[in-house]
Amino acid sequence: MDWINLVIIPAVKSIVLVIVLLTGFAYLTWVERKLLGRFQLRYGPNRAWRFGLGHPIADALKMIFKEEIIPGHVDKVIYVLGPALAIAPALAMFAVVPVGPDLTLFGRTIPMVVADVNVGLLYVLAMAGVGAYGVILGGWASNNKYSLLGALRTSSQMLSYELPMGIMLIAILLMTGTLSLVGIVNQTLPWYFRAWILLAFPFYFITVLAETNRSPFDLPETENELVAGFQTEYGGIKFALYYMTEYLHMIAASGVVVTLFFGGWRGPFVEQAPVLGVAYFAAKVLAMIFLFIWVRASLPRVRYDQLLKFCWTFLFPLSLVYLAITAVAVVFL
């Protein structure tokens, strides 16, 4: 039995992926603050080290060394587990996303994906759903009405927007014929199916904004209404884990969107130089993250009733129509 292929290589890929994601999260906070500063005609972080590049390190040290306080009125076990339950799915979601073509190193073919499972799309939906548990349980365990309101908002928001998201993913499944994200990237579709998939991108992106709790759909926090939302009772490193979860979800969601709609790692000259595929994938993910930040800088937060009404009266019927047209097109084209 080849233990190197079965154990060693997947373990190394997992460790590298976690390190890249955690480092990427740290400096993504710097990128967002810098971009928001430019959008709003101000400087952004510029004090710690050159160009403010030391701010993420300073923030991490501050959070690590802050005093840990667990209020006496909380459910301690679930209160402590909440941040871990939130961050684990955000890290695990990237396991099925191919970041490049297969590379040959030391005579071995290394797939640039941690796990090529044949139900990759279902896995992504499952991880997105499980991620809500950390927020819901954290809000409930805090035994605080503001925290509970934030948690309840999360559950209804994520359950609502998962429905049109899932229906649009079913439509993509009908066109590609596979649930594997690796298979979707490797699939060669006719130009009209490619164009039809791209047509769904703006609406799918709206569901991703709601799933990742990003502005203008950051209703679980809504500081101006709920003090601090579901994480009101959290401080120190536990608060940092929740903060980290949002950015890791954003990175993972960007990877999935790039894979589904923009060809993943595909680009010019990848066949001649496979390493270029990783560079193309990273560039596309960064472009998606820029779009997240651009939306945050441009749009005001919506009311909660408007959020749910938009989903159930517009996005849900639209996704059903999109699925129906896709099914007819797959049969007759």
pLDDT digits (tens, 9 = 90+) for 301-318: 888 889 899 999 999 999
Mean pLDDT of all residues in 261-278 = 89
Give the whole-angstrom CA distance, residue 251 versus residue 254. 5
Q: What is the mean pLDDT of the chain?
A: 87
The contacts found for 296-301 with CB under 8 angstroms, 24 or more apart, are 296/32, 296/36, 296/214, 296/215, 296/216, 297/35, 297/36, 297/39, 297/40, 298/39, 299/215, 299/216, 300/216, 301/215, 301/216, 301/217, 301/218, 301/219, 301/222
Give the whole-angstrom CA distance, residue 10 versus residue 100. 15
Above 60 in pLDDT, residue 1? Answer: no
- DSSP assignment of 86-107 equals HHHHHHHGGGG---SS-EEETT
Above 80 in pLDDT, residue 105? Answer: no
Of 67, 81, 218, 59, nearest to 141 (Cα)? 81
Name, in order, each residue with C-beta under 8 angstroms of 119's C-beta and a sequence gap of 6 or more.
179, 180
What pLDDT shows up at residue 222? 67
Q: Identify which has the larger pLDDT, 269 or 230.
A: 269
> 239 vs 28, 52, 234, CA distance in Å?
17, 22, 5
At residue 293 the predicted structure's pLDDT band, cuts being 50, 70 and 90, is: very high
Name, in order, each residue with C-beta under 8 angstroms of 56's C-beta and a sequence gap of 6 or more.
26, 27, 29, 30
The answer to whether the CB of 226 falls within 8 A of the CB of 146 is yes
For the chain, what percent of residues have pLDDT higher than 90?
33
Locate 118 and state its tokens: 């044949």
| Exposure on the CB side of residue 309, measured as CA atoms within 13 A | 5
Amino acid at 98: P
Above 50 in pLDDT, residue 126? Answer: yes
The DSSP call for residue 268 is T
Quick one: angle between helices 9-39 and 236-261, nearest 10?
100
Above 90 in pLDDT, residue 285? Answer: yes
What pLDDT shows up at residue 224? 64
Mean pLDDT of all residues in 36-58 = 87
First to last CA, the chain: 45
Model confidence pLDDT, tens digit, residues 82-98: 888 888 888 888 889 99
What predicted TM-score, i.e. pTM, was given to this entire model?
0.91
What pLDDT shows up at residue 226? 64
Across 85-99, 128-142, 225-239, 309-323, least confident range: 225-239
Mean pLDDT of all residues in 266-275 = 88
Residue 108 main-chain phi, psi, to 5 deg: -115, 145
The answer to whether the CB of 161 falls within 8 A of the CB of 170 is no
67 Cα distance to chain centroid: 30
The answer to whether the CB of 297 falls within 8 A of the CB of 39 is yes
